[in-house]
Structure 1
Amino acid sequence: MASKTLALISLILTCCVLFYAFLWINLLENLKSFSLGFKDVVRAEFLWREIHQHIDDRAPINQSVITSALNFSSLGDTIDAKNLTIEREDKITPIPILYKTNFTKLPVWDFEDVYLQDHDARKPICSDSKSIHNTKDPKFKEAFLPNIQLWLYRGLLNITEWNRLAHFNNPFGFMEYKYDEIRATVDLIPKPKFLKLLPVPESAKDGCIRCAVVGLSGILNNSKMGKEIDSHDYVFRVNGALTQGYEEDVGNKTSVYVHTAFSLYSSLHKFKKVDHQRLLQNENTKHVMIPEGLRDFEWLQGLLQRKEATGHFKGVRPLELFKGHFNESRFYVLHPDFLRYIRYRFMLSEQTQRKVWALYRPTNGAFALFLALHTCDIVDVYGYITEDHKKYSNYYYEKLKSRVIFYINHDYGLEIKTWKNLHDAGILKLYQGKGDLNNTKT
């Protein structure tokens, strides 16, 4: 009798153990479905409670409290974009708004160097490339992430991602913005039909993509580099990309046009809408937008909803500027992670340690150049600032020479050094004027 009782008890205990094991396994699987993991959610919730009373009153924040409360370092330096489709919005809420005035210098979080990754990114096959993909330079090799997420589009912004990106000032994140407003706009951005910005040309038997990146510097005045620029497979241009009347010096081809909403709009008016209308109506041109600030999202909402924009561009209908030639398959928006990656790993300026830290960002030209480096195998750069910039006018299209003005929102000295370092490392070829023997085509 006793033995039967013991056997029954053993059976019951065994069933209980199996039942709880089953529950535990299912619990672990459910936790894995959180895009950043349960542990990070717990840390995040602790952070929000810890700083909420400070944020509401815009009071100074003890950053050591924040960084100790939220530590994403266990994530490594990547987040897979494919894992962002599952989220638990019923368990997570947007963090209280962080304000730039809370910080006397650039706040550096434990997850500062964590970026969304695109594991479907292009894998170069060009054997002749000495670009950043194949560089032997230890500094640039360590900084380069071949799978960095380039594009922002619907499905890539949920509450968890918002709570990460809301720690970074624009254009590197969404500090001071409201979740519902930005999410509504991002959900309008279609996923690019072609995630790889530029295909390998059929004529490229070696599989290499050869690109020219053209800036606006007066160094191109009377340079006669137009034919050489147009000989590349693709040509990147930025901002006031005026070519009409300057073809001999800067070429005529435009494959990728990089801009913000403001730079596009102001250039259209500055140049009487003539040359830029050709850019907007050219079916061979792809447009890449830098989401510089809130006005860019207002512009995007108007463009993608085919209506009048709000806020800064109130009264403007962005779609009408394209005169019926807007094509979503040729329109891209850069992801804040890509922009922050450029700032943090390649162009971290000393200006970020000053009270004006929030004003600083790399120029549109800098973002365009690094986009080309991540897209092309061979990159030649023209019309970018050089050490002897005082010899040249500010812009190549100016009739009267004007000096280059170093505005506080950019670190031109850092850009001069960066372009030269990339040139010396053999990652790109920088046009440095007629007297530079290194600029001779081989």
Structure 2
Amino acid sequence: MVALRHRNLKLFAVALAFFAITITSFLLNFTQNSEKYFRFSGPFVRFIASMRRPCGCETCVSEAELSPWFDERFNQTVLPFLTKQNNLLSESTYKWWLKLQSERNPMDINKAVEELFKVIPGETSLSERSPYQCRTCAVVGNSGNLKETDYGPDIDSHNFVFRMNHAPTAKFEKDVGNKTTHHFVYPESVRDLSENVSMILIPFKTLDLQWVVSALTTGTINFTYAPVPRKIKVTKDKILVYNPEFMKYVYDRWLMNHGRYPSTGFLSVIFALHICDKVDLYGFGADSKGNWHHYWENNPSAGAFRQTGVHDGDFEADIISNLTSIKKINIYRGR
């Protein structure tokens, strides 16, 4: 009886080993030929394939080991938002940030953040990615090359649509769309937003954080380095704050310290790389005649938004070109 048990155990061990080898062989073969399997398979095989990538798209922005140039710059651990749980700035970041707009007598940053998160939630799940989702994002710049493109429906088909600064959509829907999920602003470029749109504040000083509190409560602040509205029309629960630590990361790792600080457009692009699985850019760069202007301006030759004095537009354009060449983003260059 004992001998029979030993024999059965040996047979079971052999069968188990054979099963493990068979499954391992199948998975290795599937990994090498996933595209072929994808054509003829059902949900189970698609589930196995999705485990190979960080998202459910055919290609994922955050996928590593496809471009050494990208991998040297992209750091998924740097979080884009300032939140209640992610609100500490390194000393080097804080010193750099304070110099961006030469703020005098700034409020203590910890006090400013504490006051801010008494008024807005200070929480977001937007940074949470899933291997089972394919989050598509349209980053819509303000270039005049959007005119007469009919990009509107394509832009609106994305899961998320990011716009920035004054960017109107009314009367321009055919070319720029009318969907907005998140709008990037700083206090001096703020605009009223509908109740379903999230405002992403890009702060350049502690006064900007104080202004948010004021604009939602007392309305006492009406000037930073320029006039700002005392009150804003925006849903306070949908206000998010761009993390100064993330701004410094963009400046150091992506721009290599070119310019004084990144433009709103470039900050939006790198933000999208960290939030989205597929990124499409619209309204970036000059038009086909070399004019740099906004799509809502009637006189293209009068526009000069590229020459700001604080951003290195050429270097930013080179980075975007590189991201396009390695297929991390798609850019629609318009007319």
TM-score exceeds 0.5 = yes
* Aligned mate of 1:242, from 168, 178, 194: 168
Partner SS for 1:332: strand
Q: Which runs of 4+ in 1 moved over 4 A?
A: 154-158, 174-180, 197-200, 313-318
With over 3 angstroms needed to count, the CA separation of the structure-2 counterparts of 1:313 and 1:419, relative to structure 1, is closer
* Aligned mate of 2:198, from 286, 289, 292: 286
With over 3 angstroms needed to count, the CA separation of the structure-2 counterparts of 1:207 and 1:171, relative to structure 1, is farther
* Aligned mate of 2:269, from 369, 374, 378: 369
Q: CA deviation at 1:431?
A: 1.0
* Aligned mate of 1:431, from 309, 332, 335: 332
2:97/2:244 contact within 8 Å kept: no
* RMSD, aligned α-carbons: 3.0
2:153/2:177 contact within 8 Å kept: yes
Take 2:321 and 2:279, find their aligned partners in 1: how far apart are those partners?
Answer: 14
Output one character per residue of 1:140-171: Cα deviation in whole Å (capped at 9) or x when no partner: 1121111212222346556xx56443331447
User: In structure 2, what is the equivalent of residue 401 of structure 1?
Assistant: 300
Q: CA deviation at 1:298?
A: 3.4
Identity %: 27
Output one character per residue of 1:175-219: Cα deviation in whole Å (capped at 9) or x when no partner: 86657533222112335332325887xxxx951000100000011
With over 3 angstroms needed to count, the CA separation of the structure-2 counterparts of 1:197 and 1:247, relative to structure 1, is farther
Query: Which structure carries more relative contact order (alpha carbon 8 Å, separation 6+)?
Result: 2
2:112/2:206 contact within 8 Å kept: no
1:188/1:301 contact within 8 Å kept: yes
Mapping 1:64-79, distance limit 5 Å: none
2:280/2:331 contact within 8 Å kept: yes
Take 1:156 and 1:198, find their aligned partners in 2: how far apart are those partners?
Answer: 14
Take 1:426 and 1:153, find their aligned partners in 2: how far apart are those partners?
Answer: 31
Partner SS for 1:391: coil
With over 3 angstroms needed to count, the CA separation of the structure-2 counterparts of 1:331 and 1:390, relative to structure 1, is same
Take 1:245 and 1:147, find their aligned partners in 2: how far apart are those partners?
Answer: 40
User: In structure 2, what is the equivalent of residue 344 of structure 1?
Assistant: 252
Unaligned runs of 5+ in 2: 1-52
Q: CA deviation at 1:346?
A: 0.7
Unaligned runs of 5+ in 1: 1-122, 269-276, 352-359, 435-442
With over 3 angstroms needed to count, the CA separation of the structure-2 counterparts of 1:163 and 1:212, relative to structure 1, is closer
2:143/2:283 contact within 8 Å kept: yes
User: In structure 2, what is the equivalent of residue 302 of structure 1?
Assistant: 214
Mapping 1:24-423, distance limit 5 Å: 124-134=54-64, 136-154=66-84, 156=86, 161=89, 163-170=91-98, 180-190=107-117, 192-196=122-126, 207-264=133-190, 268=191, 277=192, 280=193, 282-303=194-215, 305-309=217-221, 312=224, 318=230, 320-322=231-233, 325-328=234-237, 330-351=238-259, 360-385=260-285, 390-402=289-301, 403-404=303-304, 405-423=306-324
Take 1:407 and 1:422, find their aligned partners in 2: how far apart are those partners?
Answer: 23
Partner SS for 2:95: coil
1:226/1:250 contact within 8 Å kept: yes
Take 1:413 and 1:314, find their aligned partners in 2: how far apart are those partners?
Answer: 27
User: In structure 2, what is the equivalent of residue 354 of structure 1?
Assistant: none
TM-score (norm 2): 0.73
Q: CA deviation at 1:421?
A: 0.8
Matched letter for residue 291 of structure 1: P
With over 3 angstroms needed to count, the CA separation of the structure-2 counterparts of 1:247 and 1:347, relative to structure 1, is same
Take 2:227 and 2:293, find their aligned partners in 1: how far apart are those partners?
Answer: 32
User: In structure 2, what is the equivalent of residue 39 of structure 1?
Assistant: none
1:169/1:175 contact within 8 Å kept: no
1:182/1:297 contact within 8 Å kept: no
Output one character per residue of 1:415-434: Cα deviation in whole Å (capped at 9) or x when no partner: 21111111111000011235
With over 3 angstroms needed to count, the CA separation of the structure-2 counterparts of 1:425 and 1:393, relative to structure 1, is same
Output one character per residue of 1:237-265: Cα deviation in whole Å (capped at 9) or x when no partner: 0011111000111000001101111111x
Take 1:225 and 1:372, find their aligned partners in 2: how far apart are those partners?
Answer: 19
Take 2:322 and 2:256, find their aligned partners in 1: how far apart are those partners?
Answer: 15
